[in-house]
Amino acid sequence: MLVFNEGVPRAGKSYDAVKNHILPAIKKGRRVFARLNGLRHDRIAKHLGMQEKDVCDLLLLVDTKDVAKLFACTQDESGKWCIPDDFKDALVVIDEVHEFYVNERKPLEPAVENFWALLGQNGGDAVIMTQWINRLHSAVKARIEKKNTFQKLTAVGMKSRYRVTYFHTTSPGKFEKVGGQTLKYDPAIFPLYDGYAPGAENTEVYEEGGKNVWAAMAVRAVIFLVVGGIGLYFFASYFNKGKQPAHAAATGPSSTPAVGQVFKPGELVSAPGQHAVAAVVADPLADLAPEQRYVIELAAKGRIRVAAIAQVGGQDRAWLQWIDTSNVVLEQLDLGQLRA
């Protein structure tokens, strides 16, 4: 089987090859031919709990200059293409595979193309990696059975996790999605190989020149909180309007008609024992400052909308407008004014 790992640098392609392919193969006693930077026999042996000598016998490191000529078939006396015995039942791992099998019109050498055609038939498997599958020669790409696409999750503030999406071939060079999952990096894997070029010291995730999705949503969140708060207050005030507190009902003087009292036609007469109750309507905005009252009352005059969002002087700014039914702007305030 030919497996392809695709994704931007540091997304998890090599990490996956080491953790999920190379280490299990060595543990099973399977021979591995790997063109991957900085694999360390001693650390791998310690990680797997094996003798370093056994790991050295199973894991063969391939130099970049040897890839093209090593992974090739030979012809017997009858002219039949044969894969070398060393590759039977073996695992082949090649990072930056596009460097060796470039996408071009020129066909691959017959010995090379037949190697990839015969590897699976001889019990072998391969994991090849690059940043973009279309940089790979069609003769190799057409033989890929599984494609895994790796994605960093720094955009959502998750440095220690990555997303992998799984695809399966439907026809040569065509794939359909069959699933995906979010995984966490295992720090124990990183010392086993070189994720960076030798001598590179800046290994932190680069975060300048943009924001993750949560930071980008902060301004919108503030806007919606302000608008939602205004709407909720106005909604609650509407249903509490006219409700009279129990202590507000003042008992007036007795309205029992006196003896000899004369009433005019049509005048209402209270029954004995009844008292006239003065209707007191509480102001729902009485506790607000004049500025707060002004903003709340705007909601009754027109609908609210977000007029603009911009970054001014390195700070996020937003402007809200209240407009009437004729789309005439009644008022415009920015978040700074609303916070004040």
Per-residue pLDDT of the chain (340 residues; tens, 9 = 90+): 999 999 988 889 999 999 999 999 999 999 999 999 999 999 999 999 999 999 999 999 999 999 999 999 999 989 899 999 999 999 999 999 999 999 988 999 999 999 999 999 999 999 999 999 999 999 999 999 999 999 987 644 457 789 999 999 999 889 999 999 999 999 999 999 996 545 545 445 455 555 544 455 555 666 667 677 776 776 666 666 555 555 554 555 555 555 555 555 555 555 555 555 555 666 776 777 777 777 777 777 888 888 778 767 667 778 788 888 877 888 888 777 776 6
CB 322 within 8 A of CB 330: yes
Instruction: State residue 316 phi and psi, 5-degree precision.
Output: -80, 130
Q: Where exactly are the structural domains of the chain?
A: 2-192, 211-243+282-340
CATH number of 2-192: 3.40.50.300
CA-wise closest residue to 99 among 64, 55, 52, 145: 64
HSE value, Cβ hemisphere, 13 Å, CA-based, for 229: 10
pTM of the predicted model as reported, rounded to 2 decimal places? 0.60
Q: How do strand 2-7 and strand 125-130 relate by DSSP bridges? A: parallel
CB 169 within 8 A of CB 175: yes
